[in-house]
Amino acid sequence: MRSKNILTAGGILAVVLAGALIAQTLDAGAELAIVDRVYKARSDYTKALTELANHYLRVGDVTKSSRATRELKAFSSIEQYTYAKDTAGPVVEEPIKVLKYIPEANDYYIDGKIIAESRRKARKDLALKRFAKILETWPESDKAAAAAYEMAELYAGVYYRDYDLAAKYYKKCYDLDPATLEPALVKAGDMYVKLGRNEDAVTMYKLAVKGSRDTKHKEAAEKALEKLAAEGF
C-alpha cells in the first residue's frame, strides 16, 4: 500500500513538473513574440521619422524637417536593451539616408537651375559645374540627388546628347536618394536603350520596378521591360 502511495505521489509530481515546464515554455514563447514586436517597432519608428524628415526637405519645409530630425536624434539617444537572447534580434535593415539642409548647396542648386535656362551652351556648361560642385562638396545635401538629375537632363538634351553620362547621372540621382520622386531609373534605362546597351537598360528598368516610389514610373519600367523581352532581352 505504501509503495502504491509513493508511486501515486510520484505521478502527481511528474504531472505538476510537466505542467510547469509547459507553462514556462509558453511564457517564453510569448516573451519572444513581444520582444520581436518591440524590435520591429523601434525600426519602423526610426525609418518613418527619417522618411518624414527627408520628405519635408524635398518639399521645402525646413522647419518641419528639423523637428522630425530632432525627434529622431532624441529617440536614438535613448538606451535600447536586448531583452531576450533567443529572439531574431533587433531589426537590421539598409539604413535610410538622412538628407541634410545645407544653405550653400541650396544656393548652388538655385543658381544652376537659373543658369541652365540659358540657350547658350557656355552657360549650360557653367550650370553643370554648379551642380557638380554640390555632388563633390555636399553629397549629403537634400539637393545632391536633384543636382545629379539636372546634370542628367542637360547631358540628355540637344546641347550635349551624351547619353552615357546622362545614364550615369540619372543612376547617381537614385543612388544619392533612393526615395527620389524623379523617374531617374526609367530615364537611365532609356539612355541605355539609345546607346544599344539593352542589357544595362534591363537592369535599370528592373531596379525601377523594384525601387521606384511612383506607381507611374514602375508601370513605365514594366512596359519597357516587356518591349525588350519581345526583342529577346
| pLDDT tens digits, one per residue of 140-193 | 998 999 999 999 999 999 999 999 999 999 999 999 988 888 999 999 999 999
pLDDT higher than 60, residue 126:
yes
Q: What is the pLDDT of residue 2?
A: 47
The residue that leads in pLDDT, 119 or 187, is: 187
Task: Measure the CA–CA gap between 82 and 46, rounded to whole angstroms.
Answer: 17
Task: Measure the CA–CA gap between 57 and 187, rounded to whole angstroms.
Answer: 24
Q: What is the mean pLDDT of residues 60-86?
A: 73
Sign of the CA dihedral 180, 182, 188, 193?
positive
pLDDT higher than 90, residue 205:
yes
Q: What is the mean pLDDT of residues 58-80?
A: 77
Q: What is the pLDDT of residue 214?
A: 85
Residues 6+ positions from 204 with CB-CB distance below 8 Å = 167, 171, 185, 186, 188, 189, 192, 221
Sign of the CA dihedral 166, 172, 178, 179?
negative
pLDDT exceeding 90 applies to what percent of the chain? 49
Task: Measure the CA–CA gap between 177 and 138, rounded to whole angstroms.
Answer: 13
Using DSSP, state whether 60 is helix, strand or coil: coil
Q: What is the pLDDT of residue 39?
A: 67
Task: Tell me the HSE value of 211 on the side-chain side, using a 13 A CA sphere.
Answer: 19
